[in-house]
Structure 1
Amino acid sequence: MGTGTSYAIQNKLGEGMCGEVYKAWDKNSRTSWAIKTLKRSNFNSLKELKNEAMKEIDALLKVKHHENVVNLKEYFQKGKHFCLVMELCRGGTLNDFILQRPKDMVNNLNFMKQLSSGVSFLHGQGVVHRDLKPDNILIEFNHLGDAVVKISDFGLAKVFIQTFNPSAQEKCISRKYMKTCCGTPFFQAPETQNFHYTHKADVFSLGAIFASMMLKQRVQINTSQVGVKRDLLVVCMGNLTIADYEIFFNMDYVLPSDLWINPHLVLLLNSLLRKDYHERPGAEQLRCAMERMTNKDVETDIWRELARRNEELEEKTIKKERKREKKLQRLNKCKKCTIL
């Protein structure tokens, strides 16, 4: 645990239910960091504050050193605040990054690969996030200027003592059940409402994130500032969220057919959103499947043209079949006439 004396707070980056995030300058290393502060006023007691802070810290310490997971530098207590010093992600949240830019399917595929890798790593280390959503995914840029996603906010994460063997991930982690209903409605797996779920709740959340990136649907929500609203990237059908659709209609969500991407990728994305979590792939299985996808799989012009050609071919086949049937009908009439 550090002392926090070397940090100078610069400006507020954001806030959540339990605390706030600030940009800070480290006078010792002369670098910028993000400091997440958990306030005593948001908890029933200082002991509860410490317990909740340590849960997040334990999760972050267990998943260090993966490029798609935010890195924890140190933590310290300052008065009635608990502070977590983490790497600063300059690109903001995935939610704002996607909504502020034109739709880019190649970029979306790249992000999906990175997130699949990150969640597979979490599960392999015995950590289930339980609140994956675009607002909890941050964007940083590598030395080439390419965007890199970072999974953050492990406040609701479940850490299992046993470390799962990634090569036998399904066998180990599928035996672990959780009971606490948590998550965010637009991205929360339906089985969490039954207080009996596994790591595949994270897989559902990934599916909802991927679909929201592809469709780029949005709703407006209120912020902590009175009268101020912001756009939220979601997947919804009318006034229903994807989770509502799964719970109330007892059906699997299916992506629209006019995405114009590889049908195999559509099937993979649909499998993440199965209502029955047994039918969803594990995160490692998803990671492997995503790695096989290339930019050509999301080049919409290619797949739109291919769909057009298939439709033309189908129409020609139908016309030929109709001609053949008419010809057979005429032959049958001729045979009848000959017999008479």
Structure 2
Amino acid sequence: MLTFHKKKAMEICNGKKRRKVSGGVRVCRRSVAGKMKREVGKVLRSLTVEDNNHKEPMEEEEDDHCFSIGYLRNDRLEPSLVVSPRYNLLREVGRGSYGVVFEAIARKTGARVAVKRLQCDAPENVELALAEFWALTSLENRHQNVVQLEECVLQRKGLAQKMSHGNKKSRQYLRLVETSLKGERILGYPEEPCYLWFVMEFCEGGDLNQYILSRRPDPQTNRSFMRQLTSAVAFLHKNNIVHRDLKPDNILISQKSGSPVLKVADFGLSKVCAGLNTKNCEDHPIAGEDGKGSNQNNIVNINKFWLSSACGSDFYMAPEVWEGHYTAKADIFALGIIIWAMIERITFIDAESKRELLGTYIRQGTEIVPVGEALLENPKMVLHIPQRARSSMSEGVKKLLHDMLAVNPQDRPDAFQLEVRMDQVTCAA
């Protein structure tokens, strides 16, 4: 049974890493809060740009079409190298399990951007980096609630090359793909590290945890965020992308327009479910009524692919994800956990980062258990929504959350049905 403490609306997560779940291995990716230290003297530099359409075979990496990139201290810069920096790195704003994020300034435009540096020192890191790159570059259109990728740069041996999706002319790009597929180091060595730099829009409002928990409860903001989140997930699913790691840490806030705008970010565990016909894919189309894989439009297809890698962050994982056999409906479950926690401000303390995080859970004795895991163990368990006896949650929102958190994914609305229903219940409220 769920309990809510009025005086202390948080619990301590014991930090156990549940490595094995029936049917697969979970990728445990808890974010670690980075220290806010200023890095004024560090610069991401572009010194020369060569012809990206060069078609002649090149034997040496140094001769590949690329532009130089440096990450240097101020006292080591030579005057001749300070002429044309592309970005000035100002400070570190976040540090995760496989990357560091900096606030930076674009020298040409003066715009603030976020620069994420990912070291491709292991196959699993390369796989996460390429998943994020493929997901963001597969989007033909922009959406105001999905973080925008400006460019991606591949760096090695002091040289760099702007990445483009499916660039078969780039040896370094192909070697990264090979590293990911073969699961062994192909590119880069400890003494000659390989990095991917993602340049994205900067979100000055922090993440959803920071924004919500630093302010008084505001029903109007909650309703706006609920609509924005469902709109973002509907957009991703329409573009055949399953996020697979939706959580408050991965939802950023932009305040450029004056009012807060949510941005879904961190696509390292995402899956692009279009054209899944290669042998290495973990996914297999669900047979339709005619016994064949579905060939219908995108809106139907996203819920017609099985995914088998049990990955994500445990407090937001759907029951079927723990089993390693799920579809895009897992994103709907995660969204339900986030929205429920946001409305009622249900929190716990992550044992690793020591941060207070939004997240709903089940209490079992002295332990707190993720809702998805508890439902997997007891599918007949009834979720008490809302938790508070005097909650202001409307009946429409209450019913929608129950449906989003249904044990059987077939009983959950898909992202497009959810978007319509969310507009209805938030407008009615």
* TM-score after normalising by structure 1: 0.79
1:66-104: CA deviations, max 9, x gaps?
000000000102232111000000100001111111111
* 1:75 to 1:170, Cα distance in 2 relative to 1, 3 A: closer
Aligned partner of 2:145 in structure 1 is 68
Which structure has more RCO (C-alpha within 8 Å, separation ≥ 6)?
A: 2
1:102-121: CA deviations, max 9, x gaps?
11122111101001000000
* 1:281 to 1:252, Cα distance in 2 relative to 1, 3 A: farther
Match status 1:230 vs 2:355: yes
Helix, strand or coil: the match of 1:222?
coil
Query: Contact conserved, 1:90 with 1:141, CA < 8 A, in 2?
Result: yes
Residue identity in the other structure for 2:100: E
How many matched pairs?
A: 286
- 1:164-183 pair list within 5 angstroms: 171-183=300-312
Aligned partner of 1:304 in structure 2 is none
Query: Contact conserved, 2:154 with 2:196, CA < 8 A, in 1?
Result: yes
Helix, strand or coil: the match of 1:78?
strand
Match status 1:19 vs 2:99: yes
> CA offset at residue 40 of structure 1?
3.2
> CA offset at residue 223 of structure 1?
4.1
Residue identity in the other structure for 1:101: R
Query: Contact conserved, 1:252 with 1:274, CA < 8 A, in 2?
Result: no
Aligned partner of 1:301 in structure 2 is none
CA distance in 2, matches of 1:83, 1:195: 31
Match status 1:30 vs 2:110: yes
Helix, strand or coil: the match of 1:6?
strand
CA distance in 2, matches of 1:54, 1:171: 26
Helix, strand or coil: the match of 1:96?
helix
Helix, strand or coil: the match of 1:292?
helix
Query: Contact conserved, 1:246 with 1:253, CA < 8 A, in 2?
Result: no
Identity of aligned residues (%): 34
Structure with the bigger percentage of helix: 1
1:187-239: CA deviations, max 9, x gaps?
01110111110000000000000011011111112346xxxx21111112332
Residue identity in the other structure for 2:407: K
> CA offset at residue 65 of structure 1?
0.6
Aligned partner of 2:29 in structure 1 is none
CA distance in 1, matches of 2:206, 2:306: 33
Aligned partner of 1:190 in structure 2 is 319
Residue identity in the other structure for 2:209: N
Aligned partner of 1:206 in structure 2 is 335
The structure number with the bigger radius of gyration is: 1
Cα RMSD between the aligned structures? 2.2
* 1:171 to 1:31, Cα distance in 2 relative to 1, 3 A: closer
CA distance in 1, matches of 2:275, 2:318: 24
> CA offset at residue 264 of structure 1?
1.7
Helix, strand or coil: the match of 2:326?
coil
* 1:50 to 1:217, Cα distance in 2 relative to 1, 3 A: closer
CA distance in 2, matches of 1:175, 1:276: 15
> CA offset at residue 17 of structure 1?
1.2
- Alignment counterpart, residue 149 of structure 1, candidates 254, 259, 262: 262
- 1:1-340 pair list within 5 angstroms: 3=67, 5-41=85-121, 43-44=122-123, 49-63=125-139, 64-79=141-156, 80-143=194-257, 145-162=258-275, 171-223=300-352, 229-238=354-363, 239-250=368-379, 251-256=381-386, 258-294=390-426, 297=429
